[in-house]
Amino acid sequence: MELVLPSPEATRALGERLAGLLRAGDLVLLHGGLGAGKTTLTQGIGAGLDVRGHVASPTFIIARTHRPRGGGPGLVHVDAYRLGSFDELEALDLDTSLEESVTVVEWGEGLAEVLSEDRLEIAIARPYGGMADASAGLVDDGARHVTLTAHGPRWDGVDLSVLRGDA
């Protein structure tokens, strides 16, 4: 499924709608360049799951855990950008949290797919690499192009079209 999100607010709103489909044990892999909106989408997921703490990029600490306020799943937010191998990813011991929480991995392409055959991959593209170049007529209007791809039996029969909302 493909969506065009006109603003960061729309990206957060997509995350909140997505949280309504997510359950403990789900793995979400986010792909996209710097500034594409991966953390913004994860902030929306965190809001939709009603987790504790501010959802911020875990770039320098690699992984952040957000406990649920109520009875729903928590959120484990991972930034795999600085990880060089599966061994380094495995050292985070994500297997223990995969069953209890929703795990969102930024920059996990080519590395984190092995964590689960059941996963939702979301690619976020920011036109022109997010750079405005007025001299070339290229201006970033803030829109994001999002592609969602579901893998594994967990997602069989799940209607992702409910994520369209106002996007």
Average pLDDT over residues 4-24: 95
Q: Characterize the bridge pairing of strands 101-106 and 119-125.
A: unpaired
Q: Characterize the bridge pairing of strands 119-125 and 144-151.
A: antiparallel
Positive/negative CA dihedral, 47, 31, 115, 113: positive
Rg of the chain over all Cα atoms, to the nearest angstrom? 16
CATH H superfamily, domain 2-155: P-loop containing nucleotide triphosphate hydrolases (3.40.50.300)
Domain boundaries, the chain: 2-155
Q: Write out pLDDT tens, residues 77-129.
A: 888 766 655 565 565 555 556 678 899 998 777 766 767 889 999 999 987 64
Q: Characterize the bridge pairing of strands 144-151 and 63-66.
A: unpaired
DSSP H stretches of helix in 91-139:
95-98
Q: Write out pLDDT tens, residues 15-74.
A: 999 999 999 999 999 999 888 999 999 999 999 999 998 898 766 666 778 889 988 899
H or E stretch at 46: helix 38-49
Does residue 133 have a pLDDT over 90? no
- Per-residue pLDDT band for 165 (boundaries 50, 70, 90) equals confident
Residue 135 burial (C-beta neighbours within 10 Å; 0-12, 13-18, 19+): exposed
